[in-house]
A and B are shown apart, each in its own frame.
Chain A
Amino acid sequence: MSNQVEYGGGKLKVNIENEGEQGKLFFEGVIDEDFSGDKISSVKFKNYLIDFDKVSMINSCGIREWITYLETIDSQSKITYVNCPPVIVNQMNIVAGFLTPNAKVESFYAPYYDEEEDEEIIKLLKVEDIKDGKAPVLTNDNGEELEFDGIEKQYFNFINLQKK
């Protein structure tokens, strides 16, 4: 069973899939002041999987609304964030409250640079791919090594912030 909720005239869409005890929430668009947990918190789940794959921006008011929404979720519920794009990872690293004790990031996108093609490539990583705060070594289609294009200590800081 699934349903869709829209905010701000369609600039944010949330698709909610009910899979028994787990609710899967797919966010698409801009999370800003128009987002409100009220519209999606009426249906409660035991656990939540939140997919940020198609989020293009989250602004300061959106962060506040997000944190307010998290407060409506039972602290015993597990929240799993997946497919977090750089815009979400950056905010997790800067603004406190995104990663509550019951929330964990499972997968996220990381920027790499392909010197051969002179282009940025965004790769999906799992948290367990990060060993000792270092980005995993990845290669392009020609087997050339890609360079992680960020500051590892800064970008992977959210992993330290997650309650282990």
Chain B
Amino acid sequence: MIIAPFMHNHVLLNDINDYYDNNCIPITLISQKEIEDHNLIDFILVDYDFLNTNKNKIKHLESKTKNIIVIIPKDQEKGFHQYIAKIRPYHLIMDSEQEVNFLYQKLLPTYCKYKNNFWHHCIEGESTAEHNFSNSATLQEEFDKIWQKVELSTVFQDFHQILSLVANELISNAMYNAPTENGAAKYRSRDRKNKLLLTDKECPIMQVFDNQNSISLVIKDNFGSLTKEVLSNYLGREKEMVEHENKDGGAGVGLFLVMHYANRLIINIEPQKNTTIICSFNKTKRRKNFLQDSKSFYCFEWS
């Protein structure tokens, strides 16, 4: 795997050699020609300063790989959604020790080793619950049962309500938006007051991975109809407040809410096959820490 960092005065430039394993070849101070000479660059790390001043170069790099990871300063965290709206990246992370460690120690090595099944290896903890959702009328009851299997004594009081909200948004989207028939969305425009009873193939699955430090919800559908464009449209709103949409189907703010609460969102799309969304939350008794923890967004789209 080849990683090409394009950064200005960035700490990662110094650290990169400490982290890569044998499968990763970091190319520091890579030239345009070197990029041209490589058939494939797996990941290109870019800091926001570089992005701002080298927009044309970035456009060119995008033709070489979808995996451009934009690293934005921690103190600009409030603009997370605005960055998604503005630069519509496949990958966006905060410049925090936690996320940098995750990137180098987990994501890059497992991506290299396991390719499209990499995400299994990026989640810590055991799967404590697995559930198929076939009936959109009973989601809340089913979530309540699932949270009973999760260790929630080390989190603030309404943490489970945040989990319910995020699970509700993601499962509802997977039930109404994912299923296709003859290439067309089957239930997307249906009013969500009209409940669904899905067939086995149409049912999304949620697994919950629980460990001492975090909880991850893994939601998988069997359609792969989500696209990066849809994600960018709904995750990235330039305003600090989001407005609902008066349209058929969902309200158009669910994904925005998911990203607002999640510490890490990994989306793995195999078009027309399946979509897996991994949504992780740091466990803490301090709500303030939860809100201040870094955020990251990764979208992998496999051809």
Instruction: Kindly state whether residue A11 has any CB partner on chain B within 8 Å.
Output: yes
Q: Is B251's CB under 8 angstroms from A61's CB?
A: yes
Interface 9-mer from B30-38, B158-166, B294-302: B158-166
Minimum CB–CB distance for A2 against chain B, Å? 26
Are A87 and B244 interface neighbours, CB within 8 A? no
- Total interface residues on B, CB under 8 Å, equals 35
Decide yes or no whether B89 CB sits under 8 A from chain A: no
By a CB distance below 8 angstroms, the chain A residues around B244 are: 60, 63-64, 67, 95, 97
Total residue contacts A-B, CB cutoff 8 A: 95
Residue A86 lies at the interface, judged by CB distance under 8 Å to chain B: yes
Instruction: Kindly report which residue of chain A lies nearest to residue B155, judged by CB atoms.
Output: A120
Contact flags A109-137 to B (C-beta < 8 A → 1, else 0): 00101000011101000000000000000
Query: Taking each of A30, A64, A87, A118, which has the highest tally of chain B beta carbons within 10 Å of its own beta carbon?
Result: A64
Name the CB-closest residue of B to A152: B288
Whether B287 and A95, one on each chain, are in contact in the complex, defined by CB atoms closer than 8 angstroms, is no
The number of residues on chain A lying at the interface, defined by a beta carbon within 8 Å of a beta carbon of chain B, is 35
Bound complex: CA A133 to CA B256 (Å): 25
- Distance A113 CA – B256 CA, assembled complex (angstroms): 28
Provide the main secondary structure of the chain A interface. mixed
Chain B contact residues, CB within 8 Å of chain A: 137, 140, 156-158, 161, 164-165, 168-169, 172, 191-193, 239, 241-246, 250-254, 256-257, 260, 285-288, 291-292
Between A and B, 30 residue pairs with Cβ closer than 8 Å are A8-B137, A33-B192, A33-B193, A34-B193, A36-B193, A57-B140, A57-B164, A59-B165, A59-B172, A60-B169, A60-B251, A60-B252, A64-B245, A86-B158, A87-B158, A93-B241, A94-B257, A94-B260, A95-B241, A95-B242, A95-B244, A95-B253, A96-B242, A96-B243, A97-B243, A97-B244, A111-B156, A113-B288, A120-B285, A150-B288
> Which A residues have a C-beta under 8 Å from some C-beta of B?
8-9, 11, 30, 32-34, 36, 56-57, 59-61, 63-64, 67, 85-87, 93-97, 111, 113, 118-120, 122, 148-151, 154
